[in-house]
């Protein structure tokens, strides 16, 4: 099974369409760009691989960070100035907002460094270096080991590698599997913890088009926000302190006013989160046509409930803006993904490639490797996975959807230790403080009436659609005490729980002691959360793991076999939240018969979309005037218009948001923020005709910063090139 025999000759029909050599598909490992650089230069890249990634001198990678846990950002000044998307900073902007200071609606601009706002908990992470450590990870791990024994030894090796590689430094390290576990890289990072909020446009610019335009082209969103990295006096990471100073980066991106033409080379540096490009057809079919529809339906119900209340109250709009956007984002993405797979006949394409694979695997040369059994085994395993997989989806998307679930989960620790004599009073007190802290954040954005409707609807969905054996025990209680009437159960829960009303909760917590903790343990909201978690953690996940771990190891062998079958093709590893370089051409696309999209939008489109009666399309008064006067100065394109966004063939995914898009000289021309709806299936299957990323034109950002916000001091920090 594990022989690394290479098959040199290969008949042409074996090359699947998927890994065609010259498509711009791919998310490449920065330290291995030597393999791509010829193709990149052929497309117009003027940089060398060493200029893009080097551990011996400063290189482009030193200006790229992981922003928080889910986005990318880039350094654009010698004083640690950082750009990312508005939607990446959204939660942070929301946290600084209230009815008095509504930064979401009105924007925020620091006029000088001392007005920049600190953000406890927010980090940015630089990649220091990476290294192939596969042989060290697999030391003492023969190919014929049982999967869990294999995992154990690998984990042990990894622990000793990360320990050794970070000893005596302030760096973090992890060892991360690539190519579905066929290869391992050491990943050494430096994490900064004092990140301050510098500015963001109002939602009417930064979120223009809102959820209506999300995942869509043509797009007119000024999706950016500005932060700054602070360090201690030695330029090293430090917790927030008033005495910290702006971080001096090893590299920062010059910003280009030069624009681009259709067909130009573009490069994206970022942290794509997760893709699954090498799945068998059975998995793609299950995701697109079974999982997605269920998730979409459940999310739709929550969005209807929340959306209605947001439309009727300004307070609710502020409180639920971030939560709503979070639910809506993947709801819409999944709709696009399923449509895309259907339209591209994705499952049939995979099946065709699998037939070729099967022929190759059953051929004489490959006898005895076991490759011919892979696909039949996949089919069987995915069938086995299905019932538990559906239960998982209902438990997570419906069972954990009530917002109160988050607070009762946070209360678990306190309830558990309060009853234990061996735990000191101080520890109990600390847990109580911690719960109160969570509660303050929670109630700031909470409306029990909304949550009651959500809880009601979600429990109903579970009762109607889940297999009996996967239903949490609480449904037994509901059957017994409420004749199975979910509505009266939730009514009662919200009327009597200590958690569902902030006044009740704080009153209770003021008198909290070890004895009264018992009352919390019997609280109906707490019992609901507990019942769902128990079912999930103690039954569904463990029994699912038996199948998923077999699927994972089969996937490892499957990819290895595919690489063996196509030695001339260049494979790229699935995204795994590590830094990648992606490149392609600036290009529009043709999504449907008779529709031909240009590769860029202009401010003209903002005026065309304007409609003050629709929240998503209300245009800020001042922006309106600026566009009307058409005074764009040096930020205008050569054609005199103001470009807002553009599309390219760059292969990107969630996590690439906020990522720098560079021209062939390594100058910043835009900030990645989205993909087109027709192309969201690129997480499973990339189609070069349909898949595009959507990028904010950096000149629009500068125009807003300079002409709209008057933030000249920030413009002056940057290296802006003609
Ligand atoms: N679709 C983009 C991404 O996945 C932007 C999401 C934020 N915008 C929104 N309207 N929800 O992150
Ligand atoms: N909008 C996504 C992000 O936040 C990017 C994408 O999925 O294309 O990372």
pLDDT, one tens digit per residue, over 128-183 is 999 999 999 999 999 888 888 999 999 999 999 999 999 999 999 999 999 999 99
pLDDT at 5: 32
Q: Is 325 in the pocket of ligand 1 (CB under 6 A)?
A: yes
Apex 249 CA angle, 244 and 250, nearest 5: 145
Domain boundaries, the chain: 1-271+571-668+694-722, 281-554
Ligand 2: atom nearest CA of 675 is 8
CA dist., res. 207 & res. 211, Å (int): 8
* Whether residue 86 lies in the annotated active site: no
Q: Is 674 in the pocket of ligand 2 (CB under 6 A)?
A: yes
Q: Which residue has the higher pLDDT, 517 or 670?
A: 670
CA dist., res. 306 & res. 320, Å (int): 8
Asked if residue 431 lies in contact with residue 420, where contact means CB atoms within 8 angstroms, the answer is no
Percent of all residues in the chain with a pLDDT value above 70, rounded to a whole number? 97
Asked if residue 676 lies in contact with residue 339, where contact means CB atoms within 8 angstroms, the answer is no
235: left (phi over 0), alpha (psi -120 to 50) or beta: left
Nearest ligand, CA of residue 219? 1
CA 443 – ligand 2 centroid, Å: 29
Q: How confident is the model at residue 23 (pLDDT cuts 50, 70, 90)?
A: low
* CA pseudo-torsion sign 14, 18, 21, 27: negative
Q: What is the mean pLDDT of residues 691-720?
A: 98
CA dist., res. 93 & res. 101, Å (int): 10
Asked if residue 213 lies in contact with residue 611, where contact means CB atoms within 8 angstroms, the answer is no
CA dist., res. 99 & res. 553, Å (int): 52
The mean of the pLDDT values for the chain is 94
Residue with tokens 């699947």: 16
Does the pLDDT of residue 6 top 80, yes or no?
no
CA 654 – ligand 1 centroid, Å: 9
pLDDT in tens, 276-313: 999 999 999 999 999 999 999 999 999 999 999 999 99
Residue 614: how many CB atoms within 10 A of its CB?
A: 11
Residues with Cβ within 8 Å of residue 359, at least 6 apart in sequence:
none
CA dist., res. 652 & res. 676, Å (int): 11
Which helix (DSSP H) or strand (DSSP E) does residue 155 occupy? helix 147-166
Asked if residue 539 lies in contact with residue 21, where contact means CB atoms within 8 angstroms, the answer is no
pLDDT at 262: 97
Query: What is the phi/psi pair of residue 91, to 5°?
Result: -60, -35
* Domain formed by 1-271+571-668+694-722, architecture: Beta Barrel (2.40)
Q: Which long-range contacts (CB under 8 A, 24 or more apart) does 42-48 make?
A: 43/265, 43/583, 43/584, 43/585, 44/264, 44/265, 44/664, 45/265, 45/267, 45/583, 45/664, 46/664, 46/665, 46/666, 47/664, 47/665, 47/666
CA 330 – ligand 1 centroid, Å: 8
| pTM of the complete model | 0.92
Asked if residue 537 lies in contact with residue 391, where contact means CB atoms within 8 angstroms, the answer is no
Q: Is 451 in the pocket of ligand 1 (CB under 6 A)?
A: no
Residues with Cβ within 8 Å of residue 27, at least 6 apart in sequence:
272, 275, 572, 573, 574, 575, 580, 581, 582, 651, 652, 653
Query: How many C-alpha atoms does 502 have within 13 Å on its Cβ side?
Result: 14
Percent of all residues in the chain with a pLDDT value above 90, rounded to a whole number? 91
CA dist., res. 676 & res. 447, Å (int): 34
Q: How confident is the model at residue 1 (pLDDT cuts 50, 70, 90)?
A: very low
Question: Out of 223, 264, 574, 674, which one is annotated catalytic?
Answer: 223
CA 68 – ligand 2 centroid, Å: 14
Residue closest via CA to ligand 1's atom 7 equals 87
Does the pLDDT of residue 647 top 90, yes or no?
yes
Which helix (DSSP H) or strand (DSSP E) does residue 479 occupy? helix 474-482
Asked if residue 62 lies in contact with residue 249, where contact means CB atoms within 8 angstroms, the answer is yes
CA dist., res. 450 & res. 446, Å (int): 8
pLDDT in tens, 55-108: 999 999 999 999 998 999 999 999 999 999 999 999 999 889 888 899 999 999
Does the pLDDT of residue 215 top 70, yes or no?
yes
Residue closest via CA to ligand 1's atom 11 equals 325
Question: Out of 225, 281, 531, 657, which one is annotated catalytic?
Answer: 657
**From 84, 321, 674, mutation site for ligand 1 pocket: most ligand atoms within 8 A of C-beta:** 674
pLDDT at 683: 98
Q: Is 654 in the pocket of ligand 2 (CB under 6 A)?
A: yes
Q: Is 656 in the pocket of ligand 2 (CB under 6 A)?
A: yes
Asked if residue 708 lies in contact with residue 201, where contact means CB atoms within 8 angstroms, the answer is yes
Q: What is the mean pLDDT of residues 245-266?
A: 98
Residue closest via CA to ligand 2's atom 2 equals 654
Cα 133 to Cα 137, 161, 174, 255, 558, distances in angstroms: 6, 9, 11, 36, 21
Maximum Cα interatomic distance, the chain, rounded to a whole number of Å: 78
Q: Is 657 in the pocket of ligand 2 (CB under 6 A)?
A: yes
Ligand 2: atom nearest CA of 672 is 5
CA dist., res. 434 & res. 701, Å (int): 40
Does the pLDDT of residue 22 top 90, yes or no?
no
pLDDT at 515: 87
CA 214 – ligand 1 centroid, Å: 6
pLDDT at 145: 86
pLDDT in tens, 162-175: 999 999 999 999 99
Does the pLDDT of residue 393 top 70, yes or no?
yes
Asked if residue 472 lies in contact with residue 531, where contact means CB atoms within 8 angstroms, the answer is yes
Q: Is 674 in the pocket of ligand 1 (CB under 6 A)?
A: yes
Residue closest via CA to ligand 2's atom 4 equals 657
CA 162 – ligand 1 centroid, Å: 35
Ligand 1: atom nearest CA of 329 is 11
Asked if residue 203 lies in contact with residue 104, where contact means CB atoms within 8 angstroms, the answer is yes
HEC-encoded secondary structure of 400-415: CCCCHHHHHHHHHHHH
Nearest ligand, CA of residue 68? 2
Six-digit token string for 86:
């508005």
Residue with tokens 């690439």: 656
Ligand 1: atom nearest CA of 210 is 10
Q: What is the mean pLDDT of residues 17-31?
A: 72
Q: What is the mean pLDDT of residues 356-370?
A: 95
Q: What is the mean pLDDT of residues 450-471?
A: 98
pLDDT at 196: 98
Q: What is the mean pLDDT of residues 336-351?
A: 97
* Whether residue 223 lies in the annotated active site: yes
CA 657 – ligand 1 centroid, Å: 9
Q: Which residue has the higher pLDDT, 671 or 14?
A: 671
Q: Is 303 in the pocket of ligand 1 (CB under 6 A)?
A: no
Query: What is the phi/psi pair of residue 719, to 5°?
Result: -100, 95
Does the pLDDT of residue 540 top 80, yes or no?
yes
pLDDT in tens, 561-598: 999 999 999 999 999 999 999 999 999 999 999 999 99
Ligand 1: atom nearest CA of 87 is 7
Does the pLDDT of residue 270 top 80, yes or no?
yes
Ligand 2: atom nearest CA of 72 is 9
Q: What is the mean pLDDT of residues 540-557?
A: 94
Residue with tokens 């928080």: 68
Q: How confident is the model at residue 394 (pLDDT cuts 50, 70, 90)?
A: very high
Does the pLDDT of residue 18 top 50, yes or no?
no
**From 214, 274, 657, 677, mutation site for ligand 2 pocket: most ligand atoms within 8 A of C-beta:** 657
299: left (phi over 0), alpha (psi -120 to 50) or beta: alpha
pLDDT at 362: 96
Does the pLDDT of residue 487 top 90, yes or no?
yes
Q: How confident is the model at residue 600 (pLDDT cuts 50, 70, 90)?
A: very high
Query: What is the phi/psi pair of residue 258, to 5°?
Result: -75, -15
Residue closest via CA to ligand 2's atom 7 equals 654
């Amino acid at each position: 099974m594990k022989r690394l025999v290479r098959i040199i000759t290969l008949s042409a029909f074996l090359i699947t369409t998927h890994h065609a050599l010259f498509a711009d598909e791919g998310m490449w490992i920065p330290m291995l760009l030597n393999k791509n650089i010829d193709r990149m230069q052929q497309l117009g890249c003027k940089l060398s691989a060493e200029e893009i990634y080097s551990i011996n001198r400063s290189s482009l990678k030193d200006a790229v960070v992981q922003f928080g846990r889910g986005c990318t950002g880039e350094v654009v000044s010698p004083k640690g100035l950082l750009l990312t998307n508005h939607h990446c900073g959204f939660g942070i902007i929301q946290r600084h907002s209230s009815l008095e200071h509504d930064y979401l609606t009105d924007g925020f601009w620091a006029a000088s460094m001392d007005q920049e706002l600190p953000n406890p908990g927010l980090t940015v992470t630089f990649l220091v270096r990476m290294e192939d450590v596969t042989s060290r990870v697999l030391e003492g791990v023969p190919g014929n080991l049982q999967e869990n024994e294999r995992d154990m030894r690998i984990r042990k090796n990894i622990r000793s590698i990360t320990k050794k590689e970070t000893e005596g430094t302030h760096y973090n390290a992890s060892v991360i599997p690539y190519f579905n576990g066929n290869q391992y890289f050491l990943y050494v990072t430096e994490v900064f913890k004092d990140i301050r909020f510098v500015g963001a446009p109002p939602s009417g610019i930064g979120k223009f088009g809102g959820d209506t335009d999300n995942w869509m082209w043509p797009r007119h969103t000024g999706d950016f926000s500005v932060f700054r990295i602070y360090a201690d006096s030695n330029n090293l990471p430090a917790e927030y302190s008033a005495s910290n100073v702006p971080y001096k980066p090893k590299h920062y991106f010059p910003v280009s006013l030069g624009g681009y033409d259709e067909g130009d080379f573009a490069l994206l540096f970022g942290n794509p989160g997760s893709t699954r490009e090498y799945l068998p057809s059975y998995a793609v079919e299950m995701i697109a046509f079974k999982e997605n529809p269920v998730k979409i339906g459940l999310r739709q119900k929550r969005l209807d409930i929340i959306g209605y209340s947001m439309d009727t109250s300004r307070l609710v709009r502020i409180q639920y803006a971030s939560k709503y956007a979070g639910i809506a984002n993947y709801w819409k993405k999944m709709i696009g993904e399923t449509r895309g797979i259907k339209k591209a006949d994705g499952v049939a394409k995979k099946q065709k490639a699998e037939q070729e694979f099967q022929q190759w695997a059953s051929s004489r040369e490959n006898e005895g490797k076991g490759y011919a059994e892979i696909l039949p085994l996949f089919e069987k395993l995915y069938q086995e996975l299905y019932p538990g997989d559906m239960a998982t989806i209902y438990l997570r998307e419906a069972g954990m959807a009530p917002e109160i679930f988050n607070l009762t989960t946070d209360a678990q620790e306190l309830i558990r230790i309060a009853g234990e004599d061996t735990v000191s009073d101080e520890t109990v007190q600390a847990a109580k403080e911690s719960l109160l802290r969570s509660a303050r954040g929670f109630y700031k954005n909470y409306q029990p009436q909304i949550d009651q409707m959500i809880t009601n609807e979600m429990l109903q969905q579970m009762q109607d659609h889940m297999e009996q054996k996967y239903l949490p025990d609480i449904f037994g209680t509901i059957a017994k005490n409420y004749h199975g009437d979910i509505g009266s159960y939730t009514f009662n829960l919200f009327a009597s729980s200590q958690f569902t009303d902030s006044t009740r909760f704080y009153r209770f917590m003021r008198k909290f002691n070890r004895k009264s903790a018992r009352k919390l343990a019997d609280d109906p909201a707490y019992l609901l959360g507990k019942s769902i978690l128990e079912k999930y953690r103690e039954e569904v996940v463990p029994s699912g793991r038996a199948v998923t771990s077999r699927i994972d190891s089969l996937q490892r062998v499957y990819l290895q076999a595919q690489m063996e079958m196509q030695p001339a093709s260049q494979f790229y590893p699935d995204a795994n939240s590590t830094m990648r370089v992606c490149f392609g051409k600036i290009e529009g696309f043709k999504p449907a018969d008779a529709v031909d999209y240009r590769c860029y939008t202009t401010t003209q489109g903002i005026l065309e979309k304007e409609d003050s009666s629709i929240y998503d399309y209300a245009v800020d008064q001042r922006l309106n005037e600026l566009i009307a006067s058409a005074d764009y100065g040096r930020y205008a394109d050569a054609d005199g218009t103001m470009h807002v966004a553009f599309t390219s063939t760059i292969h990107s995914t969630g996590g690439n948001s906020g990522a720098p898009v560079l021209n062939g000289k390594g100058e910043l021309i835009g900030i990645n923020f989205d993909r087109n709806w027709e192309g969201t299936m690129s997480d499973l299957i990339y189609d070069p005709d349909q898949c595009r990323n959507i990028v904010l034109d950096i000149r629009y950002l500068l125009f807003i910063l300079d002409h709209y916000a008057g933030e000249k001091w920030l413009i002056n920090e940057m290296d802006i090139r003609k």
